[in-house]
Amino acid sequence: MTSSSTAQKTTGKVILLGAGPGAADLITVRGARLLSQADVVLHDALVTEEMLALCPQAEKILVGKRSGQRSTAQAVINEKLVECARKYKLVVRLKGGDPMMFGRADEELRALEAEGIEVEIVPGVTAALAAAASSKQPLTKRGIARSVAFFTSATAPGHPEETTLPDCDTLIQYMGGREAITTAQRLLAQGRAPTLPVLVIENCSRANERILRFNLGELEKGLADCHGPVLVMFGEALAPRK
């Protein structure tokens, strides 16, 4: 019978690595170094070719998950990580944004820890902070916004589809393109003002980035067709500077 400590010595190490919001030069220095050393990289669908160019020596395995599209089941990803750790010395699981923010890190950590596999987590720039930078709109503002909440309407199978909206000054909805209109309707029903500023950011930090400005009443009536990943930000702190 093999003990957990023995298993760690006979398997490789797995890095859960944040790729950042999209632009290849927004990855951390540590992240870029680890990519250049990796034997194999299991990457999300949103990871760009420019980012993958940082690891030309590595085997690359697409394990993308996109909302509303056919994608790799999480259980299969977990199995692949364990399989790669038993075969390679350094395994990188490259995730868009930050691994610990809507990145299913808990499920992957559980699978790896159950097999006694060593794991390191390297953070990345999460989309909300990159969107604030791109739009030049701070998420907090003295006297106006002291609290920020990140949320998503995406839920696990078997869980209620409608999540409780946070009560915060600034709200950031990840993967919000399909649910943005519904969210606007719910916020209006809660008493939020129709004039509440809204920013919609598509393909944050990339060359094809789009930043759209609405107020809550306008967003309720419709959202322009978006094809890339979408972040929706609500709050008085997002009003244009005058």
Active site residue ranges: 44, 65
Dist. CA 109–CA 205, nearest whole Å: 28
**How many other C-beta atoms are found inside a 10 Å radius of the C-beta of residue 98?**
24
3-state DSSP assignment of residue 151: strand
Contact 149, 166 (CB under 8 A): yes
Strand partners, 60: 41
Q: 57, 65 in Cβ contact below 8 A?
A: no
d(CA 71, CA 86): 24
CA 121-122-123 angle, to 5 degrees, is: 115
Phi, psi of 105 (to 5 degrees): -65, -35
